[in-house]
Amino acid sequence: MLCLIAMTVCCRAGVSQSPVIATFNAREIHRDEFERFLELKMGEFDTADLSDSIRSQMLDEYIKRRLVLDDAARLGISIGSAEMEQTTQDNPEMKSTVATAATREELARDLLVEKYYKQVALKDVRVSPEEVQQYIEKNQSRLTDRPGFLVREIRVQSRDEADKLHREVTEAHRDFASVARLHSDAPNTGQSGLAHYDEGQLPDVLEKAVKQLRPGDVSPVIESNYGFHIFKLEQRTLPHAMEERRSKLDDRRAQLTEELIARKNQQNVDGALERLTSAATIKINDSALGFTYTGTLRHN
């Protein structure tokens, strides 16, 4: 099924009258197909408002995605109808998203990319007991039970962009989590900016600002050595009662183990993508893009 989808993409690109914005391994990427990808991934957000930085990141993601799909086809990895149906049954909220051919194809590609990573990038991932113990010892401070903050964070590298995003989440009342997911460059962007910090874990200038917030409040723009930050306090967390601490300690050890596995998985996925992009011939056609490209694939 997915091989047919990959062929559909190529055929569609071959007859498109839209400008060619990039090529990879002599395969053309047309502006209209990239715009369709943006619309499907951005959902309710107006793609016309996306910054050059976000568009560049999404173009990089689209090119890497196409490389993965091509390699999956080369290896004979595909997604069948039964797997599609199982996905919609396991996730009832997806049923409405597969109503059109375009969204159904995109869901199939998502499943194929995930299957490729499992079969190719993650097949040999192992975590030894020694690695787990070393990771727990390295993060021993996170096993303590101290007061803390559950916050969402937006971090960018310019004051102007930070001020603009601050107005969007305060004056325009845009959803803070969605803005963080789309615009933040903090490590917790994949969690829509959500992170938990114990007291004393954040740099002083940031912790001082967070401590002044009440749940639901949004901080002003704060400058640090890492960039310009905006925080929203979701809730304060307190130490657990003595009888709860032992079970919570076990939970945190289990969480650290899962975190180590997730890190190794991500390293292997990143390595697989690096191998694909390094071996590919990628060219960006700046004159046809319609935005200033600031991505990372130009060197190919």
Average confidence (pLDDT) over 265-276: 90
Average confidence (pLDDT) over 115-126: 88
Domains of the chain by residue range: 2-124+272-289, 146-237
Check residue 91 and give its pLDDT.
Answer: 59
Inform me whether the pLDDT recorded for 31 exceeds 90.
Answer: yes
Check residue 240 and give its pLDDT.
Answer: 52
Average pLDDT value over all residues in the chain: 82
* Residues 122 and 204: beta-carbon distance below 8 Å: no
Residues near 155 by beta carbon (within 8 Å), at least 6 away in sequence: 184, 185, 186, 226, 227, 228, 229, 230
pLDDT digits (tens, 9 = 90+) for 234-249: 988 876 544 555 555 6
Inform me whether the pLDDT recorded for 140 exceeds 70.
Answer: no
DSSP3 helix / strand / coil % (the chain, rounded to 5): 60, 15, 25
Tracing tokens 């020694």 back to the chain, one arrives at: 130
Average confidence (pLDDT) over 216-222: 94
pLDDT band at residue 147, thresholds of 50, 70 and 90?
confident
Same fold across 2-124+272-289 and 146-237: no
Fold classified for 2-124+272-289:
Triger factor/SurA peptide-binding fold (1.10.4030)
pLDDT digits (tens, 9 = 90+) for 51-109: 888 889 889 999 999 999 999 999 999 988 888 878 767 655 555 554 567 777 888 88
* Residues 16 and 32: beta-carbon distance below 8 Å: yes
pLDDT band at residue 142, thresholds of 50, 70 and 90?
low
Check residue 27 and give its pLDDT.
Answer: 92
Per-residue burial over 146-169, b if 16 or more Cβ lie within 10 Å, else e, is: eebbebbbbbbeeeebbeebbebb
pLDDT digits (tens, 9 = 90+) for 149-166: 889 999 998 888 899 999
pLDDT digits (tens, 9 = 90+) for 186-215: 888 878 888 888 888 888 999 999 999 999
Q: Is 172 helix (H, G, I), strand (E, B) or coil?
A: coil
Average confidence (pLDDT) over 274-287: 94
* Residues 199 and 207: beta-carbon distance below 8 Å: yes
CATH class of residue range 146-237: alpha beta
Least confident of 109-118, 165-174, 225-234, 254-263: 254-263
